[in-house]
């Protein structure tokens, strides 16, 4: 990512806008409210040291979905990881990729 930004400075984006944050918050509320309507398996990766997203909302989504469809939502916490797990160091990224690939493989009959 850093190399790409160095080679292509126009690829850099600023922080989230106020509108983006508001829409993200609304999307989170909607996801929690409608969790029982989800019909496909969900892998939810939770960054253990995230300071942007509150873990409570993720736990609420998982619990609401699993109340209706037990076991449909699997939450995996990556201890020490921060907000963007797939853009972290390999220490956090590799377990996240491993969990994701295992999850996908287990969905294929």
| Higher pLDDT, residue 15 or 25 | 25
What is the band of 105 on the pLDDT scale with cuts at 50, 70, 90? very high
| pLDDT of res. 78 | 97
Average pLDDT of every residue of the chain: 91
Report the candidate in 4, 5, 13, 78 with the shortest Cα–Cα distance to residue 48: 78
As a whole number, mean pLDDT of residues 62-83 equals 96
| Full set of structural domains in the chain with CATH | 2-107 (3.40.50.1820)
Instruction: Inform me whether the pLDDT recorded for 62 exceeds 80.
Output: yes
Is residue 100 exposed (0-12), middle (13-18) or buried (19+ Cβ within 10 Å)?
middle
Distance of CA 97 to the CA centre of its chain: 12
The total number of residues written for the chain in this structure = 109
Residues ≥6 apart with Cβ < 8 Å to 25: none
Instruction: Inform me whether the pLDDT recorded for 95 exceeds 80.
Output: yes
């Amino acid at each position: 990512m850093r190399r790409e930004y160095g080679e292509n400075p126009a690829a850099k984006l600023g922080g989230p806008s106020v509108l983006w944050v508001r829409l993200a918050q609304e999307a989170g509320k909607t996801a929690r409210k409608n969790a029982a309507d989800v019909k496909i398996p969900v892998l939810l990766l939770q960054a253990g040291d995230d300071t942007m997203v509150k873990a409570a909302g993720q736990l609420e989504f998982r619990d609401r979905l699993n109340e209706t469809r037990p076991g449909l939502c699997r939450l995996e916490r990556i201890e020490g990881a921060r907000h963007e797990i797939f853009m972290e160091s390999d220490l956090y990224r590799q377990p996240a990729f491993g969990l994701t690939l295992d999850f996908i493989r287990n969905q294929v009959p």
